Amino acid sequence: MTTPKQAFINADPTYQQLYQNYCSANDALISLNSQCMDVSYVIQRLLIARDLVDNARQSAEHCDISESNQIEALTGNCSDSWDSALSATHQLLSELIFIHCEAIASHRQAIPPAEQSRSQALELLNITTRQLGEEFNNLAS
């Protein structure tokens, strides 16, 4: 249940705007942190894929003629072509990992200003809440 004092504070248009500003700043910060986590999961999956490709490359490098024939039957490529394709895939995955790392770095650089924005919005909200509380107390007495 909302107290009369809280209802008075909540009804103030300045308070409502400052509260909305705080909520927006907080949402922006949460979003940045969430984006960092999402991209980190993508990186994790890309690293797993790159490791699998790397393991396949190592297996293809040390294959005998029978295994080379199996690679050609399965892929349509001779073992050297298959090794080149795996190498190119490894490079591509590495590049994607680097791009996603840069995305995290970009998001991380945006976090301190977003934290400062949220802190400033909260400070203004707290000041206004105190002032309105005092105004309510003066009116009530």
pLDDT at residue 1 in the model = 82
Instruction: Look at 76 and 130; give whichever has higher pLDDT.
Output: 130
Q: Which of 125, 137, 61, 51 is nearest to 90 (CA)?
A: 51
Q: Where are the domains of the chain?
A: 30-109
135 token code pair: 């105004």
pLDDT at residue 60 in the model = 73
- Mean pLDDT score of the chain, rounded to an integer? 92
* Mean pLDDT, residues 31-52 taken together: 97
94 token code pair: 């590495």
| pLDDT at position 28 over 90 | yes
Distance of CA 96 to the CA centre of its chain: 16
CA-to-CA separations, 2 to 15, 31, 50, 139, in angstroms, rounded = 16, 30, 56, 18
Question: pLDDT digit string (tens) for 56-101?
Answer: 888 777 777 777 777 778 778 777 888 888 999 999 999 999 999 9
Matching residue, tokens 């490709």: 53
| pLDDT at position 126 over 90 | yes
Q: Which of 133, 134, 121, 132 is nearest to 18 (CA)?
A: 121
